[in-house]
């Protein structure tokens, strides 16, 4: 009797959940690129269960969606050197473009879905793809290795983050098929002209970047910094260099910060620490930003993303093929999603897909 009552309660709760989701007018799905494979895993955000996989091409490296969330673009670094377009309603690849330079990395797109910016890592430039003309329309040469790009919330600027060869000699970089120049700045590109409007110094080679939801600040992981720098985008200057708070034991072990995100309320920045297996949370309402939490993740947390409402933070633990799911408010790990072995999850994105 008790079991039956329990089952009824569960069914009732599930129905309520479905109704809530339906009444919200959307369904949220998390897309996780398998950086060592040729597909991406699809997770239902409501349940944190894997609901499918989409084959997109070898070594997917970049993921972006326009503001409508009705399409998904995935850059593949493998043999296809292209971009796959995915229909998120049915989770199927619907188009493939193979017109890009070598080794496309992390991409971003304007919210109207018109201009896709794509770092061609093997070519030392970024490419701008017009999705209406279905053609690359211009190239933006940069110093360093084209690697990441993020669009401003008002669509006016693209911020390009190219890292560099570091201590590797220019000759050895060339031999390895990499760009020989050094770079320690963020490029600010005007989306109207697709030309560089300014650069902002980052002290060291920039890595993953995140723009604050109000568009006023840019946060960047950099080489040789366990932490991140804060850039003032209005005055285009470096504001702060924030280091993770670590114990002496932790500091003795080399690591790297690689994976950063700003919460939609403009209050926190979450940033990963790959060899110690942490995500560090900073209060960015304080000047300078102040670390308020250090949370354990899985092995080699290399990327993070958030739900659009900022309630959930997903960390991709590349070395153990898991995703840590954190409650942003309580800073507790809700669950850990185990992916099939060998997927090496990295870039991720949550899509809020309209019903119907």
Instruction: Please give the residue ranges that form the binding site for another protein (CB under 8 A).
Output: 35-38, 58-59, 78-79, 168, 172, 176, 178, 249, 252-256, 258, 274-275, 299-300, 302, 318-319, 341-342, 344
Shortest approach of another protein to residue 100 CB, angstroms?
A: 18
Angle, vertex CA 266, rays to CA 216 and CA 43, nearest 5: 115
Indicate the residue among 200 and 302 with the shorter CB distance to another protein: 302
Comparing CA positions, the residue from 291, 165, 156 lying closest to residue 234 is 156
Shortest approach of another protein to residue 245 CB, angstroms?
A: 18
**What is the distance between the alpha carbons of residues 330 and 334, in angstroms, rounded to a whole number?**
10
Q: Are 125 and 117 in contact, with CB atoms under 8 Å apart?
A: no
Shortest approach of another protein to residue 339 CB, angstroms?
A: 12
C-alpha distance from residue 299 to each of 3, 61, 302, 303, 313 (Å): 39, 19, 9, 12, 16
Q: What are phi and psi of 318, to 5 degrees?
A: -65, -40
Indicate the residue among 342 and 356 with the shorter CB distance to another protein: 342
**Mind giving me the DSSP string for 48-76?**
TEEEEEEE--SSEEEEE--TT-S-EEEEE
Indicate the residue among 197 and 319 with the shorter CB distance to another protein: 319
Shortest approach of another protein to residue 295 CB, angstroms?
A: 19
Q: Are 129 and 118 in contact, with CB atoms under 8 Å apart?
A: yes
Indicate the residue among 45 and 75 with the shorter CB distance to another protein: 75
Indicate the residue among 186 and 274 with the shorter CB distance to another protein: 274
Shortest approach of another protein to residue 75 CB, angstroms?
A: 15
Token pair of 57, please?
A: 């091409």
């Amino acid at each position: 009797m008790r079991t039956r009552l329990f089952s009824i309660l569960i069914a009732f709760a599930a129905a309520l959940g479905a109704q809530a989701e339906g009444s919200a007018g959307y369904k949220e799905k998390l897309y996780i690129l398998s950086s060592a494979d040729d597909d991406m895993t699809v997770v239902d955000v409501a349940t944190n269960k894997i609901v499918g996989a989409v084959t997109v091409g070898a070594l997917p490296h970049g993921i972006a969606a326009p503001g409508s969330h009705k399409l998904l673009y995935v850059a593949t670094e493998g043999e296809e050197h292209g971009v796959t377009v995915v229909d998120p309603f049915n989770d199927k690849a619907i188009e493939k473009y193979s017109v890009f330079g070598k080794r496309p990395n992390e991409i971003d797109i304007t919210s109207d879905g018109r201009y896709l910016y794509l770092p061609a890592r093997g070519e030392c430039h970024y490419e701008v793809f017009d999705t209406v003309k279905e053609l690359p329309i211009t190239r933006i040469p940069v110093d360093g290795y084209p690697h990441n790009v993020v669009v401003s919330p008002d669509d006016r600027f693209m911020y390009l983050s190219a890292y560099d060869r570091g201590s590797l000699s220019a000759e050895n970089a060339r031999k390895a098929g990499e760009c020989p120049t050094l770079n320690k700045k963020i490029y600010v590109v005007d989306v109207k002209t697709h030309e560089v409007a300014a650069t902002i110094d980052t002290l060291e080679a920039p890595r993953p970047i995140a723009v604050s939801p109000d568009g006023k600040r840019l946060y960047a992981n950099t080489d040789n910094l366990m932490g991140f720098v804060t850039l003032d985008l209005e005055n285009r200057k470096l504001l702060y260099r924030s280091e993770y708070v670590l114990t002496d034991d932790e500091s003795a072990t080399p690591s790297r910060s690689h994976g950063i995100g700003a919460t939609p309320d403009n209050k926190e920045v979450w940033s990963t620490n790959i060899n110690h297996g942490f995500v560090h949370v900073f209060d960015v309402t304080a000047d300078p930003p102040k670390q308020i939490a250090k949370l354990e993740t899985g092995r080699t947390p290399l990327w993070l993303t958030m739900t659009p409402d900022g309630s959930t933070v997903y960390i991709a633990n590349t070395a153990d093929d898991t995703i840590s799911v954190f409650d942003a408010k309580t800073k507790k790990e809700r669950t850990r999603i185990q992916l099939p072995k060998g997927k090496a999850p990295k870039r991720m994105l949550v899509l809020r897909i309209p019903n119907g």
